[in-house]
Amino acid sequence: MEELPSVLWAYRTTPRAPTQETPFNLVYGSETVLQVEIGQTSSMVESYPDNNDQARALELDLIEEKRDRAFIRMEAYRSRVMKSYNKKVRIRDFQVGDLVMKKVNHAGDVGKLEARWEGPYKITRKVSSGSFYLEDAQRHPLKRPWNVFNLKKYYS
């Protein structure tokens, strides 16, 4: 509990990768001055003007532009992450009437030579995006809908 304020301070004063800005800078429009720098002379404290009202007003006027640039960088970052994440996604889209194989749900001890897929089954109805009702070759409907992750296209 004693460490929480220092951890929060470190989090708020560290630049984030998506925005390339610190959360403190995006909220208050200026960089932070560490408590150690206030008591001791440092380059940041020495270069800070005594009368900074005009500089602070200018920083506050430009804060919206800084936030807009951070938002654009964040959207670009999100786009890159989404592109990387979706790189290996295989889209499976089935239509009513397609023939599919369904994954076998084995119960108990299963050998490595057991069949992993069974079928073919015909899609009779699409319940929602990714769920389908099936029927077998004798036109007997299966009791429950099947998720697209448990189906694959049947090629005869």
pLDDT in tens, 123-155: 999 988 789 999 999 999 999 999 988 999 998
Angle formed by the axes of helices 63-85 and 53-61, to 10°? 40
The residue ranges of every structural domain in the chain are: 4-88, 99-153
Identity at 101, one-letter amino acid code: M
Contact 119, 101 (CB under 8 A): yes
Give the model confidence (pLDDT) of 66-81 as tens digits: 888 889 999 999 999 9
| End-to-end Cα spacing for the chain | 65
Instruction: Of 119, 117, 152, give the one whose Cα is nearest residue 136.
Output: 119
β-partners of residue 103 are 117
Fold of 99-153: SH3 type barrels. (2.30.30)
- Answer yes or no: pTM beyond 0.75: no
Give me the pLDDT at residue 43, please. Answer: 65
